[in-house]
């Protein structure tokens, strides 16, 4: 029996045109979806479950009721059950920092005792890229960040991984289990949920937990970090845009390219 | 206790550029705090590294000799010991792939607030960090209420520290608990070799997420052929398996500097820009006028690539 925990996050994507409201972007300019990196982590976990004899995959998230949809999608792809942590205290926190997320997931880990924890390298919205490794250290698990290949030898208690370094170099590393791996995009091809999967997901359990349920108090999620300003980056652009319809714009671009010697035989 | 500890990055015998950017960021912050800048280099040829790290602004270089290559368990233990010894106000670390592999553990171990991927740091009684959110669509300021704190910095946002310093080099003894070292690097591999070397090309036509579908790649191949260019791409195209890894431009792919870089349907995420901003002439075709690619482009068309590209192909095929 092996248990894999996948921590996931529902993230907001900002539309092309949006308006800032202090340190927030109004909901009408946001579109919510499963964090792209976490989709690859889910696929990794589901593939392990399909390849193994007795593998349970549990998915955990921190977020409001809206996130049930995201968790349900993970269930439809083959995750066995979900956990969603939320309460009024969490709802009142402006920016949940890495330490707060670590406390919450650490409490879940203490309860679930997974052999392997998978999560995305980073979240698309706040891009801290820190939760997985922080959680590993807090839980006393080994870890590897930015993993783009995994060969799990559960019997030997080792994960053979590749870490994607900069500049097209990969590091081959052996990681002792239990471990947290942060998963990079491209490690696999995340599946789409099948109709059957979506139907089955309706019957799967999503356990709702509060901080109190996890044995945590308000202090555990008190953030030392506050968002004090949000602004649109100043464009340093001095781009020359070719105007007009596609024909006109393309013709202008073509003449610039010719000036630079493109197409000269 | 108002010092800065900056931990540098190296790989396979070379200090990485971000090491010298950490010195610049660290020296500025140390000046704001009214303290000293301590630079730490862990593992590898630390004596050689220490000589290279002695640049302007550095007060002391601490060397921790242990093994050749990066191991996060060793790094965490070494930084923990340095922190106990030096009691700095700030720990600065790189937001590199290896930085992401140890900085969060350091912050957790030492119960420090952590802000990652900083693009600006200022200190005026409290720490303020500038960082991006929502895929570079907005910038934010975050304030950190308590000290000490830990920050990782984004590459290429600070200048590289220059000059020669006169910092003493202090070998720092750490007794590493080997039983807590539970991961082992077994090797490295260069990926993305193969038939084409995009770093050699004079003209690159690069395709991104805007192409929408694998079958549409053909259209960009046609454009590249018409222009006598080589085809490259941004990360999502390679992640989807639509083009091989040796075509990928960006932080985790290749760094290219062609005469002309034509970005088609590429928004210009920071990781991509890191791989192509040195191109002589950058041209972008994208539907989103706010796409960051236009910030670095010399020429651009705000429009649908499926309308523009066929016309361009015609222009150069006749």
Taking CB atoms and an 8 Å cutoff, what residues of chain B touch A164?
Answer: 97, 252
A124 touches chain B (CB under 8 A): yes
**A246 in any annotated domain:** no
All residues of chain B having their beta carbon less than 8 Å from the beta carbon of residue A170 are 188-189, 191
- For residue B257, the distance in angstroms to the closest alpha carbon of chain A comes to 14
What per-residue confidence (pLDDT) applies to A235? 75
Residue A261 lies in a domain: no
Pairwise CA distance, residues A235 & A224, whole Å:
31
Q: Examine residue A252 and state whether it is found in any structural domain, yes or no.
A: no
Which candidate from B95, B116, B184 shows the least CB-CB separation from A174?
B184
Pick from B132, B248, B303: CB nearest A246 = B303
Which tens digit of pLDDT belongs to each residue from B35-51?
999 999 999 999 999 99
CA distance A221 to chain B (A): 12
- In order of their start, the domains of chain B are 4-180 (3.40.50.620), 198-317 (3.40.50.1220)
Are A71 and A6 in contact by the 8 Å Cβ rule? The answer is no
- d(CA B27, CA B96) in angstroms, rounded, equals 20
> Which residues of chain B make contact with A231, given a CB cutoff of 8 A?
138-140
| ipTM (interface pTM) | 0.95
Query: Do B100 and A182 count as a contact with CB atoms less than 8 A apart?
Result: yes
Q: What pLDDT, on the 0 to 100 scale, is given for residue B80?
A: 98
User: How far apart are alpha carbons B63 and B77 in whole angstroms?
Assistant: 14
- Share of residues in chain A with pLDDT > 90 (%): 90
Q: Minimal CA–CA distance to B270: which of B115, B159, B103, B139?
A: B139
Mean residue pLDDT of chain B comes to 95
Q: Which of A35, A60, A43 is nearest to A128 (CA)?
A: A35
Q: Which among A172, A229, A256 has CB closest to B141?
A: A229
The answer to whether residues A78 and A50 touch, using CB atoms and an 8 Å cutoff, is: yes
- Contact of B115 with B25, CB cutoff 8 Å: no
Backbone angles phi, psi at B87, to 5 degrees: 45, 55
Residue A232 lies in a domain: no
Determine whether the interchain pair A189/B182 forms a contact, defined as Cβ–Cβ distance below 8 Å: no
Distance of residue B268 Cα from the nearest chain A Cα, in angstroms: 13
Please write down the HEC assignment for all residues of A79-94.
CCEEEEECCHHHHCCC
Residues 6+ apart with CB under 8 A from A261: none
Taking only the tens place, the pLDDT of each residue in A191-247 is 999 999 999 999 999 999 999 999 999 999 998 999 999 999 887 789 999 999 999
Q: 3-class DSSP state for residue B297?
A: coil
Does B192 have pLDDT greater than 80? no
Confidence of residue B121 (pLDDT cuts 50, 70, 90): very high
Eight-class DSSP state of A236: -
Q: If we measure between CA atoms, which residue out of B25, B62, B51, B46 comes closest to residue B164?
A: B51
Q: Identify which of A235, A140, A261, A112 has the alpha carbon closest to the alpha carbon of residue B136.
A: A235
- Whether residue A55 lies inside any domain: the answer is yes
pLDDT tens sequence across B75-117: 999 999 999 999 999 999 999 999 999 999 999 999 999 999 9
Strand ranges of the sheet holding B60-64, from the earlier edge strand across to the other edge: B114-118, B149-153, B90-94, B4-7, B37-42, B60-64, B169-171
| Host domain of residue A20 | 2-221
User: Are B137 and A18 inside 8 Å of each other by CB?
Assistant: yes
The most confident of the ranges A20-29, A126-135, A217-226 is A126-135
- In chain B, residues with a C-beta closer than 8 Å to the C-beta of A182 are 100
Scanning chain A, the segments in alpha helix (DSSP H) are 36-51, 68-76, 88-91, 98-112, 131-139, 195-201, 246-259
Residues of A in contact with B136 (CB under 8 A): 233
- Contact (CB<8Å) B187/A185: no
Could you tell me the CATH number of the domain that includes residue A43?
3.40.50.620
Looking at A226-240, B59-73, B144-158, B199-213, which range is the least confident one?
A: A226-240
| A233, part of any domain | no
Residue A251 placed within a domain:
no
For B222, other C-beta atoms within 10 Å of its C-beta total: 17
Nearest chain B alpha carbon to A241: B300
Q: Which of A159, A134, A130, A135 is nearest to A147 (CA)?
A: A159
Across the interface, of A20, A240, A257, the residue whose CB is closest to B227 is: A257
The verdict on residue A115 lying in a domain is yes
The minimum CA-CA distance between A190 and chain B, rounded to whole Å, is: 10
Distance from CA of A77 to the nearest CA of B (A): 18
What's the angle, vertex CA A133, arms to CA B171 and CA A103, rounded to 5? Answer: 115
pLDDT at B1: 64
Q: Does A240 touch chain B (CB under 8 A)?
A: yes
Please give the pLDDT value at position A226.
94
> Residue range A141-169: average pLDDT?
96
Work out how many domains chain A is built from and give that number.
1
Say if residue A41 is exposed, middle or buried (CB neighbours under 10 Å; 0-12, 13-18, 19+).
Answer: buried
Q: What is the DSSP string of B213-275?
A: SGGGHHHHHHHHHHHT-EEEE-HHHHHTTSS-GGGBBSTTSB----SEEEEES----HHHHTT
- Beta strand pairing call for A169-176 and A24-25: unpaired
Q: What Cα–Cα distance (Å) separates residue A63 from each residue in A73, A99, A124, A210, B230? A: 15, 16, 15, 11, 45
What distance in Å separates the CA atoms of residue A3 and residue A144, rounded to the nearest whole number? 18
């Amino acid at each position: 029996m092996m248990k894999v925990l996948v921590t996931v996050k529902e993230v907001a994507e900002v539309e092309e045109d949006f308006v800032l409201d202090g340190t927030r972007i109004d909901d009408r300019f946001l579109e919510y979806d499963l964090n792209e990196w976490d989709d690859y982590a889910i696929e990794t976990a589901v593939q392990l479950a399909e390849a193994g004899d007795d593998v349970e995959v549990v998915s955990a998230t921190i977020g409001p009721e809206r996130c049930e949809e995201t968790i349900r999608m993970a269930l439809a792809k083959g995750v066995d059950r979900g956990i969603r942590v939320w309460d009024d205290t969490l709802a009142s926190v402006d920016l949940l920092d890495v330490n707060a997320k670590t406390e919450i997931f650490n409490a879940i880990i203490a309860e679930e005792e997974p052999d392997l924890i998978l999560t995305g390298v980073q979240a698309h919205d706040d891009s801290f890229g820190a939760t997985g490794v922080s959680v590993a250290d807090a839980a006393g698990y080994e870890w590897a960040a930015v993993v783009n290949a995994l060969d799990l030898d559960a019997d030997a208690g080792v994960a053979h991984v590749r870490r994607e370094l900069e500049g097209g170099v990969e590091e081959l590393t052996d990681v002792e289990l239990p471990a947290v791996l942060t998963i990079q995009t491209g490690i696999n091809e995340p599946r789409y949920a099948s109709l059957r999967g979506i139907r089955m997901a309706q019957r799967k359990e999503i356990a709702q937990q509060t901080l109190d349920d996890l044995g945590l108090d308000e202090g555990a999620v008190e953030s030392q970090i506050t968002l004090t300003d949000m602004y649109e980056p100043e464009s340093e652009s001095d781009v020359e845009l070719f105007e007009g319809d596609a024909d006109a714009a393309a013709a202008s671009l073509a003449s610039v390219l010719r000036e630079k010697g493109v197409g000269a035989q | 206790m108002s010092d800065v500890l900056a931990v540098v990055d190296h790989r396979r015998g070379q200090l990485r550029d971000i090491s010298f950017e950490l010195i610049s960021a660290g020296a500025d912050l140390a000046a704001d705090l009214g303290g000293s800048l301590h630079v730490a280099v862990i593992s590898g040829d630390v004596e050689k590294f220490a000589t290279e790290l002695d640049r302007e602004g550095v007060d002391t270089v601490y060397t921790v000799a242990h093994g050749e290559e990066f191991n996060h368990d060793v790094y965490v233990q070494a930084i923990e010991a340095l922190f106990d010894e030096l009691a700095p106000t700030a720990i600065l670390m790189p937001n590199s792939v290896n930085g992401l592999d140890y900085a969060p553990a350091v912050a957790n171990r030492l119960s420090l607030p952590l802000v990652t991927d900083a693009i600006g740091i200022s200190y005026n009684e409290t720490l303020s960090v500038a960082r991006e959110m929502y895929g570079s669509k907005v910038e934010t300021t975050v304030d950190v209420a308590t000290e000490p704190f830990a920050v990782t910095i984004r590459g290429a946002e600070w200048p590289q520290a220059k000059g020669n310093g006169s910092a003493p080099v202090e070998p720092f003894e750490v007794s590493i608990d080997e039983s807590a070292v539970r991961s082992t690097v077994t090797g490295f591999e260069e990926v993305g070799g193969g038939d084409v070397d995009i770093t050699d090309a004079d003209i690159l036509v690069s395709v991104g997420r805007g192409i929408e579908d694998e079958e549409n790649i053909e259209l960009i191949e046609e454009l590249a052929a018409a222009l006598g260019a080589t085809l490259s791409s941004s990360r999502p195209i390679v992640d989807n398996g639509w083009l091989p890894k040796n075509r990928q431009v960006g932080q985790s792919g290749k760094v290219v500097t062609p005469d002309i870089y034509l970005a088609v349907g590429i928004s210009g995420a920071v990781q991509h820009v890191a791989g192509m901003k040195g191109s002589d002439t950058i041209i972008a075709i994208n539907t989103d006028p706010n796409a960051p690619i236009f910030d670095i482009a010399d020429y651009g068309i705000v429009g649908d690539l499926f309308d523009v590209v066929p016309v361009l192909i015609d222009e150069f095929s006749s």
